Amino acid sequence: MPEISRRHLFGVAAAAGASTALGTPAFAGAGSQPGTAHRVPREQISVQLYTLRNQLAVNLETTFTELAAIGYRRVEHAGFVGRTAAQFRAALDNAGLKATSGHAGIPQPWNADTWKRTLEDAAIVGNEFIVHPYFGAGANGPVRDAAVYRAFAADLDKAGELARRAGLSFGYHNHQNEFVRQNGTSRTGFDILTSETDAKLVHLEVDLYWAWRGAADPVDLIERHRRRIKQVHVKDMDVTSGFADPGTGLIDFERIFRRAADAGLVEYIVERDDAGSPPRTPAQALDTARAGYRYLAGLRF
């Protein structure tokens, strides 16, 4: 995985510090005025259930109840943990939760009928958003062929059109692979995906951790893709570039969220990829969910 440019990271920190010293919030965007405090609406805080995958496998219903007790009212699923869509929805309903969003990969090669069945499940579960979770890794590392990205962008538009007809907003979720330059040019896979898809059919779910791992400043992404970033994964980074609970690592979420209005943000999703995986325990995945909710609910920017 590419490391973050230290010069870029420290440059961002210096710019933020200089702006704050002048009494103006760093990179303040529309809707963020000097001297005012904003917060993440609690009703827009969610958690990606991949974070709790091992805990869910132990006891789905109890885990949902514990998430509700923390304060969550919405979640983002990544599959149904061996249940049907209807069974999964029933467990959510019993706990007072709603799966407003879900991760589901579009068929490759493209198959409209297969995707329609995925959309039918999304409707049963109650999704508002359906998001393609992963692309850009080939057999020999990150994809570096622009033609591969262009072909995939065409499929994303097809998936987005069918989702729109089904009453869903279709999104794309990044990792770090998309920020690799293609064919030796300055153009990245993310550049291709965002320029060659219809913004009305494909919104962006920016994973803030993976954007940093790809050396892409989320504030720059917001500037280039205004009103297209409906969702973010709130995932922090420790000093070794590994995962950390939200609010305990290096990422300046306050600086990013000051641009929430410019981005078009409506959902803030807590996630930690290694939560519950050895040496961490399933119980620690709930600790991450708890820490993430408390951090977002208490954040001022």
Q: Each residue of 37-71: pLDDT tens digit?
A: 899 999 999 999 999 999 999 999 999 999 999 99
CB 200 within 8 Å of CB 173: no
Question: What amino acid occupies position 180?
Answer: V
Look up the pTM and report it.
0.89
Closest CA to 175 of 123, 213, 223: 213
User: What is the tens place of the pLDDT at every residue in 242-289?
Assistant: 999 999 999 999 999 999 999 999 999 999 999 988 888 888 999 999
CB 201 within 8 Å of CB 166: no
Please list, residue by residue across 85-99, b when 16 or more beta carbons sit within 10 angstroms of its beta carbon and e when fewer do.
Answer: beebbebbeebebbb
CATH topology of domain 37-298: TIM Barrel (3.20.20)
